[in-house]
Amino acid sequence: MARRQFVAASAAAASTPTLATARAGFPWAANETYLNTATEHPLSKRTAAAMKEYLDALVNGPDAEREKFENGRLMTKVKEMFAALINAKPAEIGFTPSTQTGENIVLEGLGVMTGGNVVTNDLHYGGSLLNYRERRKQGLDTRIVEHKDHVMDFRDLERAVDRKTKLVAIALVSNVNGYVHEVRKIADLAHAHGAYVYADAIQAAGAVPVDVKAMGIDFLACSAYKWLMGGRFGYLYVREDLQERVLKAKLFGGRTTPKGASRYEISTVSHLGCVCQSEALAYIHALGVDRIRAHTRPLVERLAKELPALGYPCITPKGNDSPIVSFALKDPAVAKAKLKKAKVVVTLGGYMRVSPSVFNDMADVDRLIAALA
Ligand SMILES: Cc1ncc(COP(=O)(O)O)c(C=O)c1O
Protein backbone atom coordinates (compact mmCIF):
# COMPACT_ATOMS: atom_id res chain seq x y z
CA MET A 1 0.00 0.00 0.00
CA ALA A 2 1.37 3.44 -0.88
CA ARG A 3 2.31 5.47 2.19
CA ARG A 4 -0.34 8.10 1.56
CA GLN A 5 -3.03 5.43 1.24
CA PHE A 6 -1.77 3.72 4.40
CA VAL A 7 -1.87 6.98 6.40
CA ALA A 8 -5.39 7.71 5.15
CA ALA A 9 -6.59 4.16 5.99
CA SER A 10 -5.03 4.34 9.49
CA ALA A 11 -6.61 7.74 10.15
CA ALA A 12 -10.01 6.39 9.05
CA ALA A 13 -9.62 3.32 11.27
CA ALA A 14 -8.57 5.48 14.22
CA SER A 15 -11.64 7.67 13.86
CA THR A 16 -14.10 4.83 13.12
CA PRO A 17 -16.17 4.52 16.28
CA THR A 18 -16.33 1.10 17.91
CA LEU A 19 -18.01 -0.09 21.07
CA ALA A 20 -14.61 -1.14 22.40
CA THR A 21 -13.45 2.48 22.37
CA ALA A 22 -16.80 4.06 23.29
CA ARG A 23 -15.98 4.63 26.95
CA ALA A 24 -13.00 6.84 26.14
CA GLY A 25 -15.27 9.08 24.11
CA PHE A 26 -17.45 9.92 27.12
CA PRO A 27 -15.25 11.38 29.90
CA TRP A 28 -18.22 11.54 32.32
CA ALA A 29 -17.92 7.76 32.68
CA ALA A 30 -14.52 8.17 34.34
CA ASN A 31 -15.81 10.66 36.92
CA GLU A 32 -18.70 8.68 38.34
CA THR A 33 -20.68 5.54 37.60
CA TYR A 34 -23.33 7.03 35.36
CA LEU A 35 -26.12 4.52 34.65
CA ASN A 36 -28.83 7.04 33.87
CA THR A 37 -29.18 7.53 30.12
CA ALA A 38 -32.97 7.22 30.40
CA THR A 39 -32.74 10.66 32.03
CA GLU A 40 -30.06 12.18 29.83
CA HIS A 41 -27.13 10.93 27.74
CA PRO A 42 -23.72 12.48 28.39
CA LEU A 43 -22.24 14.32 25.40
CA SER A 44 -19.30 12.69 23.67
CA LYS A 45 -16.00 14.56 23.25
CA ARG A 46 -16.48 14.42 19.49
CA THR A 47 -19.96 15.95 19.64
CA ALA A 48 -18.87 18.60 22.12
CA ALA A 49 -15.93 19.53 19.85
CA ALA A 50 -18.31 20.18 16.95
CA MET A 51 -20.59 22.24 19.17
CA LYS A 52 -17.61 24.25 20.50
CA GLU A 53 -16.52 24.98 16.95
CA TYR A 54 -20.00 26.35 16.23
CA LEU A 55 -20.04 28.37 19.44
CA ASP A 56 -16.65 29.86 18.49
CA ALA A 57 -18.14 30.92 15.18
CA LEU A 58 -21.01 32.57 17.03
CA VAL A 59 -18.58 34.42 19.28
CA ASN A 60 -15.99 35.45 16.71
CA GLY A 61 -17.65 35.30 13.29
CA PRO A 62 -17.05 35.92 10.47
CA ASP A 63 -20.46 35.33 8.94
CA ALA A 64 -19.18 32.65 6.57
CA GLU A 65 -17.96 30.62 9.55
CA ARG A 66 -21.40 30.78 11.23
CA GLU A 67 -23.08 29.75 8.01
CA LYS A 68 -21.08 26.53 7.96
CA PHE A 69 -23.32 25.38 10.80
CA GLU A 70 -26.59 27.21 10.19
CA ASN A 71 -27.66 25.89 6.83
CA GLY A 72 -30.26 23.76 5.12
CA ARG A 73 -27.72 21.12 4.10
CA LEU A 74 -26.95 20.25 7.70
CA MET A 75 -30.65 20.16 8.62
CA THR A 76 -31.38 17.91 5.64
CA LYS A 77 -28.51 15.60 6.58
CA VAL A 78 -29.79 15.34 10.16
CA LYS A 79 -33.33 14.57 9.00
CA GLU A 80 -32.00 11.93 6.60
CA MET A 81 -30.02 10.25 9.36
CA PHE A 82 -32.99 10.25 11.74
CA ALA A 83 -35.30 8.97 8.99
CA ALA A 84 -32.88 6.11 8.26
CA LEU A 85 -32.80 5.23 11.96
CA ILE A 86 -36.56 4.60 12.08
CA ASN A 87 -37.03 3.40 8.47
CA ALA A 88 -38.95 6.50 7.37
CA LYS A 89 -38.54 8.84 4.40
CA PRO A 90 -36.90 12.23 5.07
CA ALA A 91 -40.15 13.88 3.89
CA GLU A 92 -41.91 12.14 6.78
CA ILE A 93 -39.70 13.91 9.36
CA GLY A 94 -40.25 17.38 10.78
CA PHE A 95 -38.26 19.12 13.48
CA THR A 96 -40.09 19.80 16.71
CA PRO A 97 -38.82 21.33 19.95
CA SER A 98 -39.57 18.21 22.03
CA THR A 99 -41.43 14.92 22.34
CA GLN A 100 -44.41 16.41 24.13
CA THR A 101 -44.70 19.23 21.60
CA GLY A 102 -44.84 16.52 18.93
CA GLU A 103 -47.58 14.66 20.79
CA ASN A 104 -49.60 17.87 21.15
CA ILE A 105 -49.22 18.58 17.41
CA VAL A 106 -50.65 15.12 16.74
CA LEU A 107 -53.58 15.58 19.16
CA GLU A 108 -54.46 18.99 17.76
CA GLY A 109 -53.94 17.93 14.14
CA LEU A 110 -56.28 14.96 14.57
CA GLY A 111 -58.88 17.21 16.20
CA VAL A 112 -59.29 14.99 19.22
CA MET A 113 -61.12 17.73 21.12
CA THR A 114 -63.93 17.70 18.59
CA GLY A 115 -65.18 14.20 19.46
CA GLY A 116 -64.18 10.57 19.71
CA ASN A 117 -61.81 9.12 22.27
CA VAL A 118 -58.10 8.61 22.88
CA VAL A 119 -56.74 5.44 24.45
CA THR A 120 -53.44 5.40 26.32
CA ASN A 121 -52.05 3.58 29.36
CA ASP A 122 -50.34 4.31 32.62
CA LEU A 123 -46.91 3.16 31.39
CA HIS A 124 -46.90 6.32 29.25
CA TYR A 125 -44.84 9.33 30.37
CA GLY A 126 -46.22 11.30 33.35
CA GLY A 127 -46.25 14.58 31.42
CA SER A 128 -48.29 12.99 28.65
CA LEU A 129 -50.73 11.53 31.16
CA LEU A 130 -51.10 15.02 32.60
CA ASN A 131 -51.86 16.23 29.08
CA TYR A 132 -54.60 13.58 28.69
CA ARG A 133 -56.08 14.29 32.14
CA GLU A 134 -56.21 18.04 31.40
CA ARG A 135 -57.88 17.29 28.07
CA ARG A 136 -60.36 15.03 29.89
CA LYS A 137 -61.34 18.04 32.05
CA GLN A 138 -62.00 19.89 28.79
CA GLY A 139 -64.26 17.14 27.52
CA LEU A 140 -62.02 14.59 25.78
CA ASP A 141 -63.04 10.96 26.36
CA THR A 142 -59.63 9.87 27.66
CA ARG A 143 -59.14 6.18 28.42
CA ILE A 144 -56.05 5.43 30.50
CA VAL A 145 -55.67 1.66 30.67
CA GLU A 146 -53.89 0.39 33.80
CA HIS A 147 -50.95 -1.97 33.61
CA LYS A 148 -50.88 -5.38 35.30
CA ASP A 149 -47.57 -6.10 37.05
CA HIS A 150 -45.95 -3.39 34.94
CA VAL A 151 -46.99 -5.01 31.67
CA MET A 152 -49.71 -3.83 29.30
CA ASP A 153 -52.25 -6.62 29.03
CA PHE A 154 -53.35 -6.50 25.41
CA ARG A 155 -56.87 -7.66 26.32
CA ASP A 156 -57.35 -4.59 28.52
CA LEU A 157 -56.36 -2.39 25.63
CA GLU A 158 -58.75 -4.29 23.35
CA ARG A 159 -61.61 -3.53 25.73
CA ALA A 160 -60.82 0.21 25.68
CA VAL A 161 -60.60 0.67 21.90
CA ASP A 162 -63.83 1.10 19.93
CA ARG A 163 -65.13 2.59 16.70
CA LYS A 164 -64.95 6.09 18.17
CA THR A 165 -61.24 5.81 19.04
CA LYS A 166 -59.20 8.35 17.13
CA LEU A 167 -55.78 7.59 18.57
CA VAL A 168 -53.95 5.01 20.63
CA ALA A 169 -50.96 6.72 22.26
CA ILE A 170 -48.11 4.77 23.84
CA ALA A 171 -44.55 5.24 25.01
CA LEU A 172 -42.92 2.70 22.68
CA VAL A 173 -40.43 1.95 25.46
CA SER A 174 -41.84 2.98 28.82
CA ASN A 175 -39.79 5.40 30.89
CA VAL A 176 -41.15 3.68 34.01
CA ASN A 177 -39.54 0.27 33.54
CA GLY A 178 -38.28 0.03 29.96
CA TYR A 179 -41.27 -2.11 28.97
CA VAL A 180 -41.40 -2.52 25.17
CA HIS A 181 -44.99 -2.34 23.95
CA GLU A 182 -46.35 -4.91 21.50
CA VAL A 183 -46.66 -2.13 19.00
CA ARG A 184 -47.50 -4.15 15.88
CA LYS A 185 -50.44 -5.80 17.66
CA ILE A 186 -51.56 -2.43 19.01
CA ALA A 187 -51.32 -0.88 15.53
CA ASP A 188 -53.40 -3.71 14.02
CA LEU A 189 -56.03 -3.22 16.72
CA ALA A 190 -56.13 0.56 16.24
CA HIS A 191 -56.24 0.35 12.44
CA ALA A 192 -59.02 -2.24 12.52
CA HIS A 193 -61.11 0.37 14.38
CA GLY A 194 -60.15 3.25 12.07
CA ALA A 195 -57.82 4.74 14.70
CA TYR A 196 -54.17 5.77 14.47
CA VAL A 197 -51.11 5.03 16.60
CA TYR A 198 -48.83 7.61 18.18
CA ALA A 199 -45.52 6.36 19.61
CA ASP A 200 -43.46 8.42 22.04
CA ALA A 201 -40.00 7.18 21.05
CA ILE A 202 -37.74 9.17 23.35
CA GLN A 203 -36.79 5.98 25.25
CA ALA A 204 -36.67 3.92 22.05
CA ALA A 205 -34.90 5.78 19.23
CA GLY A 206 -31.21 4.92 19.39
CA ALA A 207 -31.84 2.41 22.19
CA VAL A 208 -33.77 -0.34 20.39
CA PRO A 209 -34.40 -0.98 16.69
CA VAL A 210 -37.35 1.11 15.51
CA ASP A 211 -39.02 0.46 12.15
CA VAL A 212 -42.13 2.61 11.79
CA LYS A 213 -43.28 0.70 8.72
CA ALA A 214 -42.92 -2.80 10.18
CA MET A 215 -44.35 -1.63 13.50
CA GLY A 216 -47.36 0.09 11.92
CA ILE A 217 -46.67 3.43 13.64
CA ASP A 218 -48.54 6.40 12.16
CA PHE A 219 -47.05 9.24 14.21
CA LEU A 220 -43.95 9.33 16.36
CA ALA A 221 -42.07 11.99 18.27
CA CYS A 222 -38.92 12.13 20.34
CA SER A 223 -36.31 14.47 21.72
CA ALA A 224 -32.62 13.84 21.15
CA TYR A 225 -31.22 14.21 24.66
CA LYS A 226 -31.55 10.59 25.76
CA TRP A 227 -30.62 7.64 23.51
CA LEU A 228 -29.92 9.92 20.54
CA MET A 229 -27.01 11.27 22.59
CA GLY A 230 -27.72 14.98 22.82
CA GLY A 231 -29.26 18.10 21.35
CA ARG A 232 -32.22 19.67 23.07
CA PHE A 233 -34.64 19.43 20.21
CA GLY A 234 -36.60 16.68 18.56
CA TYR A 235 -38.29 14.99 15.64
CA LEU A 236 -41.85 14.37 14.53
CA TYR A 237 -42.60 11.51 12.13
CA VAL A 238 -45.89 11.64 10.24
CA ARG A 239 -46.72 8.84 7.79
CA GLU A 240 -46.63 10.36 4.33
CA ASP A 241 -50.20 9.51 3.28
CA LEU A 242 -51.62 10.93 6.51
CA GLN A 243 -49.98 14.34 6.18
CA GLU A 244 -52.66 17.03 5.88
CA ARG A 245 -55.32 14.51 4.72
CA VAL A 246 -55.61 13.16 8.28
CA LEU A 247 -53.17 15.18 10.40
CA LYS A 248 -53.92 18.87 9.81
CA ALA A 249 -51.25 21.48 10.45
CA LYS A 250 -52.67 23.79 13.12
CA LEU A 251 -49.75 26.09 13.93
CA PHE A 252 -47.81 28.00 11.30
CA GLY A 253 -44.64 30.03 11.02
CA GLY A 254 -41.54 30.74 9.00
CA ARG A 255 -40.52 27.09 8.69
CA THR A 256 -43.95 25.78 7.67
CA THR A 257 -43.75 24.26 4.19
CA PRO A 258 -46.60 23.30 1.85
CA LYS A 259 -45.33 19.72 1.51
CA GLY A 260 -43.71 17.06 3.70
CA ALA A 261 -43.64 16.76 7.49
CA SER A 262 -41.96 20.16 7.78
CA ARG A 263 -45.50 21.51 7.25
CA TYR A 264 -45.77 20.95 11.04
CA GLU A 265 -42.69 23.09 11.78
CA ILE A 266 -43.10 26.63 13.01
CA SER A 267 -39.92 28.42 14.09
CA THR A 268 -36.18 28.40 13.56
CA VAL A 269 -34.74 25.10 14.69
CA SER A 270 -32.00 24.87 17.34
CA HIS A 271 -28.85 25.03 15.22
CA LEU A 272 -26.76 23.98 18.19
CA GLY A 273 -29.01 20.95 18.58
CA CYS A 274 -28.61 20.22 14.88
CA VAL A 275 -24.81 20.38 15.05
CA CYS A 276 -24.94 18.07 18.05
CA GLN A 277 -27.29 15.62 16.33
CA SER A 278 -25.26 15.63 13.14
CA GLU A 279 -22.33 14.15 15.09
CA ALA A 280 -24.38 11.99 17.43
CA LEU A 281 -26.53 10.36 14.72
CA ALA A 282 -23.47 9.66 12.56
CA TYR A 283 -21.92 7.96 15.61
CA ILE A 284 -25.05 5.90 16.34
CA HIS A 285 -25.24 4.80 12.68
CA ALA A 286 -21.54 3.88 12.68
CA LEU A 287 -21.99 1.71 15.77
CA GLY A 288 -25.38 0.32 14.72
CA VAL A 289 -28.41 0.16 17.03
CA ASP A 290 -28.35 -3.66 17.04
CA ARG A 291 -24.77 -3.66 18.26
CA ILE A 292 -25.52 -0.95 20.84
CA ARG A 293 -28.38 -3.15 22.10
CA ALA A 294 -26.12 -6.21 22.17
CA HIS A 295 -23.62 -4.23 24.26
CA THR A 296 -26.10 -3.19 26.98
CA ARG A 297 -28.14 -6.43 27.04
CA PRO A 298 -25.82 -8.42 29.36
CA LEU A 299 -25.58 -5.44 31.73
CA VAL A 300 -29.34 -5.12 32.29
CA GLU A 301 -29.79 -8.91 32.31
CA ARG A 302 -27.26 -9.26 35.12
CA LEU A 303 -28.98 -6.53 37.16
CA ALA A 304 -32.39 -8.12 36.63
CA LYS A 305 -30.96 -11.44 37.83
CA GLU A 306 -28.93 -10.29 40.84
CA LEU A 307 -30.67 -7.28 42.42
CA PRO A 308 -33.88 -9.14 43.44
CA ALA A 309 -31.79 -11.41 45.70
CA LEU A 310 -30.47 -8.27 47.42
CA GLY A 311 -34.03 -7.10 48.20
CA TYR A 312 -34.80 -5.11 45.06
CA PRO A 313 -37.62 -6.85 43.15
CA CYS A 314 -37.44 -6.27 39.42
CA ILE A 315 -40.47 -4.45 37.95
CA THR A 316 -39.34 -4.93 34.35
CA PRO A 317 -40.83 -8.08 32.81
CA LYS A 318 -38.53 -11.03 32.08
CA GLY A 319 -37.24 -11.16 28.51
CA ASN A 320 -38.01 -7.48 27.89
CA ASP A 321 -35.56 -6.19 25.29
CA SER A 322 -34.58 -2.60 26.17
CA PRO A 323 -31.63 -1.05 27.99
CA ILE A 324 -33.84 0.12 30.88
CA VAL A 325 -34.46 -2.01 33.95
CA SER A 326 -36.31 -0.92 37.10
CA PHE A 327 -36.61 -2.17 40.66
CA ALA A 328 -39.01 -1.64 43.53
CA LEU A 329 -37.52 0.06 46.60
CA LYS A 330 -38.51 -0.69 50.18
CA ASP A 331 -36.58 2.28 51.49
CA PRO A 332 -35.69 4.85 48.79
CA ALA A 333 -33.73 7.01 51.26
CA VAL A 334 -31.38 4.15 52.16
CA ALA A 335 -30.75 3.25 48.50
CA LYS A 336 -30.16 6.92 47.74
CA ALA A 337 -27.56 7.31 50.50
CA LYS A 338 -25.72 4.12 49.47
CA LEU A 339 -25.56 5.10 45.80
CA LYS A 340 -24.53 8.66 46.55
CA LYS A 341 -21.65 7.40 48.71
CA ALA A 342 -20.51 5.09 45.90
CA LYS A 343 -20.91 7.84 43.25
CA VAL A 344 -23.38 5.74 41.28
CA VAL A 345 -26.03 7.67 39.35
CA VAL A 346 -29.39 6.07 38.50
CA THR A 347 -32.96 7.41 38.61
CA LEU A 348 -34.40 7.19 42.11
CA GLY A 349 -37.97 8.00 42.96
CA GLY A 350 -40.50 5.57 44.33
CA TYR A 351 -38.49 2.98 42.38
CA MET A 352 -34.98 2.66 40.96
CA ARG A 353 -34.34 2.82 37.22
CA VAL A 354 -31.00 1.77 35.72
CA SER A 355 -30.22 2.55 32.10
CA PRO A 356 -26.74 1.79 30.71
CA SER A 357 -25.51 3.02 27.33
CA VAL A 358 -22.52 2.52 25.06
CA PHE A 359 -19.96 3.92 27.51
CA ASN A 360 -20.96 1.59 30.38
CA ASP A 361 -19.40 -1.77 31.08
CA MET A 362 -19.76 -4.69 33.50
CA ALA A 363 -17.48 -2.95 36.03
CA ASP A 364 -20.16 -0.23 36.36
CA VAL A 365 -22.71 -2.95 37.13
CA ASP A 366 -20.29 -4.45 39.71
CA ARG A 367 -20.08 -1.03 41.41
CA LEU A 368 -23.85 -0.64 41.53
CA ILE A 369 -24.35 -4.14 42.94
CA ALA A 370 -21.57 -3.66 45.49
CA ALA A 371 -23.05 -0.34 46.61
CA LEU A 372 -26.48 -1.88 47.23
CA ALA A 373 -25.30 -5.17 48.77
C1 LIG B 1 -41.26 8.48 27.75
C2 LIG B 1 -40.96 9.94 27.86
N3 LIG B 1 -41.66 10.81 27.12
C4 LIG B 1 -41.43 12.14 27.16
C5 LIG B 1 -40.43 12.66 27.97
C6 LIG B 1 -40.20 14.13 27.96
O7 LIG B 1 -39.77 14.46 26.69
P8 LIG B 1 -39.65 15.96 26.16
O9 LIG B 1 -38.87 16.72 27.18
O10 LIG B 1 -38.90 15.78 24.90
O11 LIG B 1 -41.02 16.47 25.96
C12 LIG B 1 -39.67 11.80 28.76
C13 LIG B 1 -38.62 12.34 29.64
O14 LIG B 1 -38.14 11.69 30.55
C15 LIG B 1 -39.93 10.41 28.70
O16 LIG B 1 -39.22 9.53 29.41
Distance (Å) from CA 210 to ligand 1 centroid: 17
Average pLDDT value over all residues in the chain: 95
pLDDT higher than threshold 70 for residue 18: yes
Q: 17 falls in which pLDDT band (50, 70, 90)? A: confident
Distance (Å) from CA 368 to ligand 1 centroid: 25
What CATH number is given to the structural domain containing 253? 3.40.640.10
Q: 203 in a domain, yes or no?
A: yes
Q: Are residues 7 and 117 in the same domain?
A: no
Distance (Å) from CA 226 to ligand 1 centroid: 9
- Ligand 1 within 6 A of CB of 223: yes
Q: Are residues 156 and 252 in the same domain?
A: yes
From 250, 284, 318, the end of a domain falls on: 284
Q: Which residue owns the Cα nearest ligand 1 atom 2?
A: 125
Query: What is the per-residue pLDDT for 119?
Result: 98
From 284, 306, 329, the end of a domain falls on: 284
From 227, 262, 284, the end of a domain falls on: 284
Q: Are residues 301 and 247 in the same domain?
A: no
Q: 44 and 279 in contact (C-beta within 8 Å)? A: yes
pLDDT, tens digit, 9 for 90 and up, residues 270-317: 999 999 999 999 999 999 999 999 999 999 999 999 999 999 999 999
Q: Has this prediction a pTM greater than 0.85?
A: yes
Q: 52 in a domain, yes or no?
A: no
Q: Are residues 279 and 293 in the same domain?
A: no
pLDDT higher than threshold 50 for residue 63: yes
Q: Are residues 255 and 303 in the same domain?
A: no
Closest CA to 329 of 352, 310, 309, 308: 352
Q: Are residues 84 and 203 in the same domain?
A: yes
Q: At 69, is the secondary structure helix, strand, or coil?
A: coil
Q: Are residues 151 and 215 in the same domain?
A: yes
- Ligand 1 within 6 A of CB of 200: yes
If one residue of 95, 99, 120, 220 were mutated to test the ligand 1 pocket, choosing by the most ligand atoms within 8 A of its CB, it would be 99
Q: 275 in a domain, yes or no?
A: yes
Distance (Å) from CA 202 to ligand 1 centroid: 6
Q: Are residues 270 and 141 in the same domain?
A: yes
pLDDT higher than threshold 90 for residue 6: no
More confident of the two residues 14 and 27:
27
Query: What is the per-residue pLDDT for 16?
Result: 81
Distance CA 330, CA 141 (A): 36
> By CB neighbour count within 10 A (0-12 exposed, 13-18 middle, 19+ buried), where does 55 fall?
middle
Query: What is the per-residue pLDDT for 1?
Result: 46
Q: Are residues 29 and 128 in the same domain?
A: no
User: For residues 280, 281, 285 and 290, what is the CA-based torsion angle, rounded to 10 degrees?
Assistant: 90
Query: What is the per-residue pLDDT for 3?
Result: 53
Q: 51 in a domain, yes or no?
A: no
- Ligand 1 within 6 A of CB of 100: yes
Q: Which domain holds residue 313?
A: 3-43+289-372
Q: 53 in a domain, yes or no?
A: no
Q: Are residues 106 and 219 in the same domain?
A: yes
Q: Are residues 29 and 74 in the same domain?
A: no
Greatest Cα pair distance, the chain, in angstroms, is 73
Q: Are residues 351 and 273 in the same domain?
A: no
Q: At 344, is the secondary structure helix, strand, or coil?
A: strand
Q: DSSP string covering 222-264, please? A: EESSSTT---S-EEEEE-GGGBTTTB------TT--SSSGGGG
pLDDT, tens digit, 9 for 90 and up, residues 98-154: 999 999 999 999 999 999 999 999 999 999 999 999 999 999 999 999 999 999 999
- Ligand 1 within 6 A of CB of 104: no
pLDDT higher than threshold 90 for residue 7: no
Mean pLDDT along residues 35-42 = 98
Query: What is the per-residue pLDDT for 185?
Result: 98
- Ligand 1 within 6 A of CB of 202: yes
Mean pLDDT along residues 59-68 = 96
